[in-house]
């Protein structure tokens, strides 16, 4: 097939290249926190196509290597591309066969470089990534945004979770949470997101990573409460209004 594009690599930018202008299939928030034995991360399984909840079984939490767990919100195809890059990274690391393996800090740094470099070329990977892991007893939890902003913290949230889950986490997180308490806190955040985020679905997974390895739970749904008496007859005392 004849191609009338200029030879790439030597020249500068090529005008035929398409850039990611806006995301198509997106995942909503990811919430994660450090607990006594490692990291707990929660995400729902929804992939929205604009305002339609198109895909309801999208795995947004994936293990990376032996020590890390990656959660992503934003464009799903870019997330799959990142998983391919990480696959290659882990493969090359294994090929060294030197008894050392990439820890969460190293993977986080790699992801930061990838995201920042793509942003500098005005062709971002439209994701907010949460990277958590445990290596040699050290817990690590970090976040990278689509423009390359990265930081490490005791609890992180992406997307709508920034506004709804962060206040709860700031108030109620403390060092050395037990597994049950951590899960309860995450479920509290996910429930508020379910009530107030229009792109949330009631089908979530919670993943935990400890020194032993990664466990991603089976999908399950949260109980919600709609029985307020004010909802049953909101116009009592003012017939005809709403």
Partner 1 sequence: MAVTELPSKGGFSFDLCRRNDMLSKKGTKPPSYRKTGTTIVGLIFQDGVILGADTRATAGFIVCDKNCEKIHYMAPNIYCCGAGTAADTEAVTDMVSSQLQLHRYHTARESRVVTALTLLKSYLFKYQGHVQAALVLGGVDVTGPHLHIIYPHGSTDTLPFATMGSGSLAAMAVFESKYREGLTKEEGISLVSEAICSGIFNDLGSGSNVDICVITKGHKEYLRNHQLPNPRSYVSSKGYSFPKKTEVLLTKITPLKEKVEVIEVGDAMEE
Which residues make up the interface to partner 1 (CB under 8 A)?
163-168, 170-171, 188-189, 191-192, 195-196, 228-231, 234-238, 241-242
Q: Rank residues 70 and 177 by Cβ distance to partner 1 and give the closer one.
A: 177
Q: Rank residues 121 and 163 by Cβ distance to partner 1 and give the closer one.
A: 163
Please state the closest distance from residue 240 (CB atom) to partner 1, in A: 10
DSSP character string of 133-194 = EEETTEEEEEEE-TT--EEE-SEEE-TTHHHHHHHHHHHH--SS--HHHHHHHHHHHHHHHH
Angle between helices 104-120 and 76-96 (to 10 degrees): 130
Only one residue has tokens 């902003």, namely 149
User: Is-catalytic flag, 210?
Assistant: no
> Of the residues 20, 28, 52, 235, which is catalytic?
20
Q: What phi, psi does 111 have (nearest 5°)? A: -65, -40
Please state the closest distance from residue 166 (CB atom) to partner 1, in A: 6
* Residues β-bridged to residue 127: 74
Sequence-distant (6+) residues with CB within 8 A of 209 are 38, 39, 41, 63, 67, 68, 69, 132, 133, 134, 215
Please state the closest distance from residue 139 (CB atom) to partner 1, in A: 24
Please state the closest distance from residue 156 (CB atom) to partner 1, in A: 14
Q: Please, are residues 199 and 28 in contact by the beta-carbon 8 Å criterion?
A: yes
Please state the closest distance from residue 234 (CB atom) to partner 1, in A: 4
Q: Rank residues 33 and 214 by Cβ distance to partner 1 and give the closer one.
A: 33
Q: Rank residues 83 and 183 by Cβ distance to partner 1 and give the closer one.
A: 183
Q: Rank residues 218 and 235 by Cβ distance to partner 1 and give the closer one.
A: 235
Sequence-distant (6+) residues with CB within 8 A of 65 are 86, 90, 93, 101, 102, 107
Catalytic residue numbers read: 20
């Amino acid at each position: 097939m004849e191609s009338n594009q200029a030879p790439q690599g030597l020249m500068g930018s090529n005008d035929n290249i398409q850039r990611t202008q806006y995301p198509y299939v997106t995942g909503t928030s990811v919430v994660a926190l450090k607990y006594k034995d490692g990291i707990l991360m929660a995400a729902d399984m929804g992939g929205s196509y604009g305002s339609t909840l198109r895909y309801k079984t999208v795995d947004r939490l994936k293990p990376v290597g032996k020590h890390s767990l990656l959660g992503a919100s934003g464009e799903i195809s870019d997330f799959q591309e990142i998983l391919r890059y990480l696959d290659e990274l882990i493969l090359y690391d294994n090929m060294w066969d030197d008894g050392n393996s990439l820890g969460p800090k190293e993977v986080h740094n790699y992801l930061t470089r990838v995201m920042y470099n793509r942003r500098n070329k005005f062709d971002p990977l439209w994701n907010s990534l949460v990277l958590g892991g445990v290596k040699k007893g050290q817990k690590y939890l970090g976040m990278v945004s689509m423009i390359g902003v990265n930081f490490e913290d005791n609890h992180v949230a992406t997307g709508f979770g920034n506004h709804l889950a962060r206040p709860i986490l700031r108030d109620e997180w403390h060092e050395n949470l037990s597994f049950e308490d951590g899960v309860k806190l995450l479920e509290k955040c996910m429930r508020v997101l379910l009530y107030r985020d229009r792109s949330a679905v009631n089908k979530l997974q919670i993943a935990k990573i400890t020194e032993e390895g990664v466990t991603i739970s089976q999908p399950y749904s949260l109980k919600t409460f709609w029985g307020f008496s004010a909802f049953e007859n909101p116009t009592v005392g003012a017939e005809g209004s709403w």
